[in-house]
Structure 1
């Protein structure tokens, strides 16, 4: 007995639309992350980011500032490329969870009041990529295809 939906309105988008949608979403998410990570390294510097984290009550501010900066910049680049997507997505999701818990939750929902909405959306989008992968238009898919071909040869 099949549990697949029979109503065409419940079916996912055609494969090409899904693949391009995953690519566009992954790239935009990556660009947002790169911008935030780049800002932490270049505009504020790790020292400034550490001071800000300390003021906000983030645990272990020097380590947290460096880790957050690396995860945002590096994770963003990896998501753009679709490379190590599961790991990058998971690290970004955990980073954003920390941002929600240690900084944004007490301020309500709206980002204008330093609320959690932006970091939650970034974290959940990253988690989706950790769970479903980057799609076929990615370096992960290219590498997997080459490995599969090498194994079959």
Structure 2
């Protein structure tokens, strides 16, 4: 029973975490705009805020999409976890774990990114499909 549910559970987990990152990246591009995001980053003490804003926005959109599709999961999961570590260090860490502006949600996203990134994505992930395709090809000398 668990083996049959595993691909669906991994898919749902990837999509949930990926959509959260997609939306947050989209907000940085569109809702706040890159200038507004850079201004916020600067006020939070993030170094090179003008470069960090588009880089973080792009990472969150591309990384979120990678999680949804199940492609490049270890890289995407690691980069998104590092993104969330930066959010803890520069924005949420001083607010404590829980409460207004706390880092509990950001920490959960970092942990989920790593967990999803290193599960292999399951049978319903592009990474899994590519691995099965490579395994099915005859070896060449």
Structure 2 length as normaliser, TM-score? 0.93
Farther off after superposition, 95-104 or 124-133: 124-133
Q: Could you tell me how far apart the structure 1 residues matched to 2:26 and 2:49 are?
A: 18
The residue aligned with 1:101 is: 89
Structure whose alpha-carbon radius of gyration is higher: 1
The match for 2:128 among 121, 141, 150 is: 141
The match for 1:122 among 109, 134, 139 is: 109
Structure 1 length as normaliser, TM-score? 0.86
Structure 1 runs (4+) greater than 3 angstroms displaced: none
The residue aligned with 1:34 is: 22
CA RMSD in angstroms, aligned pairs only: 1.5
State the number of aligned residues.
140
Instruction: Give unmatched runs, 5+ long, in structure 1.
Output: 1-12
Q: Could you tell me how far apart the structure 1 residues matched to 2:79 and 2:138 are?
A: 30
Instruction: Give unmatched runs, 5+ long, in structure 2.
Output: none
Higher relative contact order (CA 8 A, sep 6+): 2
Cα distance per residue 1:109-139 (max 9 Å; x no partner): 23x5111011111111001122222111111
Q: Could you tell me how far apart the structure 2 residues matched to 1:126 and 1:134 are?
A: 11
Deviation at 1:152, TM superposition (A): 4.4
Q: Could you tell me how far apart the structure 2 residues matched to 1:117 and 1:107 are?
A: 10
Counterpart mapping for 1:9-88 below 5 A? 14-88=2-76
